[in-house]
């Protein structure tokens, strides 16, 4: 995947698309693991970290938007 700095350059909708792709990939990896077909078990934790990165960036943006709205109200 990409580093957090590269992910920060994406727009929100791109991040959400990426998040959906990662969740789908995680589902497939878990299915492969359960059926004994997974070749690289380390990929599961890597995808989980990527999902967490994307969620963190989305949350940071949400907080920044809320703070900006609060500042405008004052």
Q: Domains plus CATH for the chain?
A: 4-73 (1.10.287.310)
Per-residue confidence (pLDDT) for residue 27, from 0 to 100: 98
Q: Which residues of the chain have pLDDT under 70?
A: 1-2
pLDDT score for 71: 87
The pLDDT tens digits for 16-34 are 999 999 999 999 999 999 9
Give the residue among 59, 61, 51, 41 at the shortest CA–CA distance from 1. Answer: 51
User: According to the model, what pLDDT value does residue 54 have?
Assistant: 97
Measured distance CA(53)–CA(1) in Å, rounded: 10
């Amino acid at each position: 995947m990409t580093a957090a700095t590269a992910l920060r350059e994406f727009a929100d909708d791109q991040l959400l698309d990426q998040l959906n792709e990662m969740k789908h990939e995680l589902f497939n990896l878990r299915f492969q693991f359960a059926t004994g077909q997974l070749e690289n078990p380390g990929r599961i934790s890597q995808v989980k970290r990527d999902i967490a990165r994307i969620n963190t960036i989305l949350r940071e943006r949400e907080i920044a938007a809320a703070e900006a709205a609060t500042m405008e109200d004052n």
